[in-house]
Amino acid sequence: MLFKGLLATEMSGSLAGITASHNRGGQYFRARAIPVNPASDLQNVIRGALSWLAIRWTGGLTQLQRDAWDTYADNVTVVDRLGASRKLTGLNWYVAANTPRKQAGIILPSYPIDTAPIVMTMAQLTPPTIVSATAATEVLSIGFTNTDDWATAVGGALLVYCGIPQSPGMMAYKGPYKYSGKIAGAVVPPTSPLPITSAIPFGVGNRIHVQFRSVTADGRISPPFRLSALGA
């Protein structure tokens, strides 16, 4: 469980069967829900990748390579759910950089990326747009900026994740999201917009929440970016 502020004025996470969260009305508590574990094929692939990458960290990388990932970790911070900046470990970044590439079907070159980035930032992502969400075909038309780093090199990509359809007024959505597809970078960048078929069916009037994350050819990942649109 995460705490922030004197006497835990902000809390997030679970402890002893109680989950703390917050919304526009402020802090609240609820009974902890035990998530269903469907063990889908994709989940099994990702779990296998996590284990394999952790083993490779100790048995496949050289000490110099591990040191380089640690250096990257020392220079790059992330923002947690409470808005606080924190640092990850070199192993954390190695796994975080490579897992999305596995998720994208290893069509992205150089999996795994063992060499740590030398640019000491996360990847940048100009906010994409959802041009349209066509319920009849369950296709999203995704607008993007093709001068971003992910778009201008082989090995970069814009990854797209779709959430469970919601009612039109449901603007707040934390997940889950399911990987739906990617727009691959190239020497000649892709032209915006491009279609992505949602991995989760949706209908007319459903609010579709979409999460985006970019991956660059050197292994950097961007923070997630989220937005929504109505099925039409």
Parallel, antiparallel or unpaired: strands 129-134 and 177-184: unpaired
Q: In Å, how far are 39, 49, 96, 165 from 42, measured between CA atoms?
A: 8, 11, 16, 20
Is the Cβ–Cβ distance between 229 and 205 less than 8 Å?
no
Residues 6+ apart with CB under 8 A from 24: 172
pLDDT by position in tens, the chain (length 232): 554 554 445 555 555 455 565 554 554 455 555 555 555 555 666 777 888 899 999 999 999 999 999 999 999 999 877 778 889 999 999 999 999 888 887 556 678 899 999 999 999 999 999 999 999 999 999 999 999 999 999 999 999 999 999 999 999 998 999 999 999 999 999 999 999 999 999 999 999 999 999 999 999 999 999 999 999 9
Q: What's the CATH code, domain 129-230?
A: 2.60.40
Helix, strand or coil for residue 22? strand
- pTM exceeds cut of 0.85: no
Sequence spans of domains, the chain: 2-31, 41-103, 129-230
Q: Which of 121, 95, 93, 98 is nearest to 109 (CA)?
A: 98
